[in-house]
Chain A
Amino acid sequence: MIKAWRVFKEIVRGSAITGRHFFVNMTFHTLRLFGIRTRRRGAVTIQYPEVPKALSPRHHSLHRIRPREDGRSSCVACMLCVTVCPSECITVEAAEDPDPEIQKVPAKFVVDLNRCCFCGFCVEACPVDAIRMDTGEIRLAAAGRSALEVRLDKT
């Protein structure tokens, strides 16, 4: 009998919790529907495509090559990112740079996003801080595979 009463009490308590959530959230939804600003929102949902989600500064999004002051690519085609890449998605073809101080530039820098796992090792490995993953671009869907092979040296 005591156990049954305890079970009954818990059942009512559960209903009270979900019911409270319902009524509190409904109140805020209704207030906002009628244009009354409230500090709290009725739901924690972010309506994504309309409302962009704030990305963390550490977020790994689409790669980019940092340009130098004169606008040329800062990559020196040292192949360290190619070597460290666990999914082997970076292809770099080196070419000679007219500036003897720099020696090499990439003739072609391709990141295959079909394979990339966004681990960020290439960013860590780069000795001249050329490759970065801070574009904030996270909509990386494409209709075909070839569209996902991104040329980073041409942008």
Chain B
Amino acid sequence: MRGDLLIILVKVVLTLMWTLLLALFLTWVERKESAVMQDRIGANRASVFGLRLFGLFQPFADAIKMLFKEDFAPTFSQRTLHWLAPTFSFFFVSVTMIAVPFGDTIRLFGRRIPLQVVDLNAAVLFVLAMLSLGIYGILVSGWASSNRFALIGSLRGAAQLISYEAALVLSLVGLIMVFPSLSLARIVEFQGGLLFGVLPKWGIFLQPLGFIVFYLAGMAGTKRVPFDMPEGESEIIGFYTEYGGLKFGLFMFTDFLEVIVLAALATTLFFGGWQVPWLGDGGFVFPWGGGIQAAPWAVTVLRVLSFNLKVLFFCWLQILTRWTYPRFRYDQVMDLGWKVLVPLGAVNVLATGLVLAAR
């Protein structure tokens, strides 16, 4: 019993560390990637004892700067709520990662340990619920700031997130019809099979339309640039107008966490999670014959590596998207959500149902 508790604790700490470290370095990746895309070099001056290392210390410098700033709250704000709002958005996003499987089970000291904090049997619903609860952070921050721009931003944010919530859920309905489970671990296991004997049975091959809708709605959920209605740097400053220092830092960090969560979800639901194509428990078995034997530890390492690489790829893709496209107008965001993504999601559900019924 105590051993179980210890295992859970270790897994929670490791998952949180993985997520936070990735988010920390995603700030570096964002700066560097945007710089390389625009023929620049990007932040490379932060150094420790003259060691620059491509500016890899920049996130720490930023964090130290944020920590030492004044913890400011305007006199007209609701102090408690003003303080609580960033905590809300940070907590609800970071807690979603506990449902994501990082790999298959490993055997350690005679125990079978799944590389996942908890295998919730309704993990998809849990993740969606936590992501929608993140709206409260935005709303509360707007209300508690007693600032008109903050309030406009937070209301826009709430409208946008709730609209795209509908598309997000609809896009997943088709997937859940194909892989009949709400548990993320089970969904990943289902994706281990083969399609037509050749393709890995990943969600992207079974639900291409679902993936497009999911990805766009998820991008809108991260409220970063093409969909940055709540923030809107160029028109209203957005829901964190009255925030500074570490509280603002938490909001920014939440954005990066949402990028990671979307990447992890896209990986888990549509790109086979920790599955490596044609890699079974005993090693590779290629559909064209032949195979490579692999030790169980090697298989586990490959699988965890595969999950991480896919997550990194999706983080990269999101940053590429964020630095490529100009912002939408508010009405365009609403149009895209309700007139394009929701009907497409419904069509996807219908088509999936027809295919499943005809089979």
Contacts and interface: CB of A to CB of B under 8 A. Distances in A.
Interface of A: 11, 14-15, 17-19, 21-22, 25-26, 29, 42-45, 47
Given A15-B321, A18-B37, A21-B39, 20 more contacts: A14-B325, A15-B320, A15-B324, A18-B320, A18-B323, A19-B320, A21-B36, A21-B38, A22-B33, A22-B36, A22-B320, A26-B36, A29-B36, A42-B36, A42-B41, A43-B35, A43-B36, A43-B41, A45-B40, A45-B41
Interface in B286-333: 320-321, 323-325
Contacts of A21: 36-39
A51 to B, nearest CB: 12
A11 B326 CA distance: 11
B39 A14 contact: no
| Best-surrounded residue of A22, A45, A47 (most CB of chain B within 10 A) | A22
Interface of B: 33, 35-41, 320-321, 323-325
B102 to A, nearest CB: 28
A134 B35 CA distance: 34
A101 to B, nearest CB: 55
Contacts of B36: 21-22, 25-26, 29, 42-43
A11 to B, nearest CB: 7
Nearest to B324: A18
Contacts of A43: 35-36, 39-41
Nearest to B325: A14
Contacts of A15: 320-321, 324
B320 A11 contact: no
- Leading 7 A-B pairs by shortest Cβ distance: A18-B324, A45-B41, A43-B41, A25-B36, A22-B37, A18-B37, A44-B39
Contacts of B323: 18
14 contacts: A11-B325, A14-B325, A15-B320, A15-B321, A17-B324, A18-B37, A19-B320, A21-B37, A25-B37, A25-B39, A42-B39, A43-B40, A43-B41, A44-B39
Given A21-B36, A22-B33, A42-B36, A47 B321 contact: no
A2 to B, nearest CB: 15
Nearest to A43: B41
B139 to A, nearest CB: 31
